[in-house]
Amino acid sequence: MKPTIKLAPSILAANFAHLAKDIKDVEEAGADLLHIDIMDGNFVPNISFGPHMVEVCKKVSPLYRDVHLMIEKPERYIADFVRAGANNLTIHAEASVHLHRLLQEIRDFGLDTGLAVNPLTPLAFVEEALPYLDKVLVMTVNPGFGGQRFIETSIERIRKVASWRSSYGLEFDIQVDGGIDETTLTKVVQAGANNLVAGSAIFNHSKGSAVSTKQLKELALAASLY
């Protein structure tokens, strides 16, 4: 069975002066998840926001809250993000030495698990972790900032993870994050990604975020037919 296509606008690129409206616009236009980027200024050079942002999203929208933890030692904050209303916690393979324990803990809280890998992190980390994952996040830029250019060698990495999904008969999502726009989206979907994060391509689009959400979703659905 083909995995369901999901579009996940990254609110990092939204306008915080009217965040509730930006979220409603993408929700009504067909977004499937809200991607919430948590950055600590250590694991990545940038600082974004903390668990409070997850609470805010929960207040203004019923959309699934997909939380991407770009933080050192994420084990310190799991309970806080659970309390704030996260539906999924994606941790980075590079950020913790106790991945098994951490993924189990996230599942014990009843949340979906995700494991992210930076562009040159060996995919062996992912293969070992597959039985514990609802989602693999193949980073398609170096994490830390919106608006960066897609790294082309990611395509082969997505293909590899997709080949494991079919050969092991598993149903985890393959998420991509960074530089996803009208051009790169078709390529990543054809390589096997089904969960697509987009920040700038949605919120900085000249015709607005509702139009861009619809366009990207249609493109992804069309690409998934091939």
Helix (H) or strand (E) holding 198: strand 195-198
By CB under 6 A, name the one of 199, 209, 212, 219 that touches ligand DX5: 199
Rounded distance, CA 138 to CA 150, Å?
12
Binding mask 42-81 for ligand DX5 (x = CB under 6 A): --------------------------x-------------
Contact with ligand DX5 (CB under 6 A): which of 5, 6, 7, 10?
10
Site membership for ligand DX5, residue 205 (CB under 6 A): no
Establish if 135 lies at the interface with ligand DX5 (CB under 6 A): no
Which DSSP state fits 181?
A: S
Considering the complex, what minimum distance in angstroms separates the CB of residue 10 from Zn ion?
6
Q: Which H or E run includes 50?
A: none
Which option in Zn ion, ligand DX5, none does residue 148 bind, with CB closer than 5 to 8 A by kind?
ligand DX5
Residues in the chain: 226
How far is it, in rounded angstroms, from Cα 104 to Cα 175? 20
> In degrees to the nearest 10, what's the CA dihedral of 222, 199, 3, 143?
130
CB atoms within 10 A of CB 31: 26
25 is an active site residue: no
Q: What are φ and ψ of residue 34, in 5° steps? A: -110, 120
Under rule CB under 5 A, residue 135 binds Zn ion: no
Tokens 């972790």 belong to 129
Partner in contact with 95, chosen from Zn ion, ligand DX5, none, beta carbon below 5 to 8 Å by kind: none
Q: Per the residue annotation, which of 22, 25, 37, 134 is the catalytic one?
A: 37
Cα-Cα-Cα-Cα dihedral sign, residues 148, 153, 156, 157: negative
Binding segment for ligand DX5 among 54-62, 125-133, 174-182, 186-194 (CB under 6 A)?
Answer: 174-182
Contact residues for ligand DX5, defined by CB under 6 A: 10, 12-13, 35, 37, 68, 141, 143-148, 177-180, 197-201
Contact residues for Zn ion, defined by CB under 5 A: 37, 68, 177
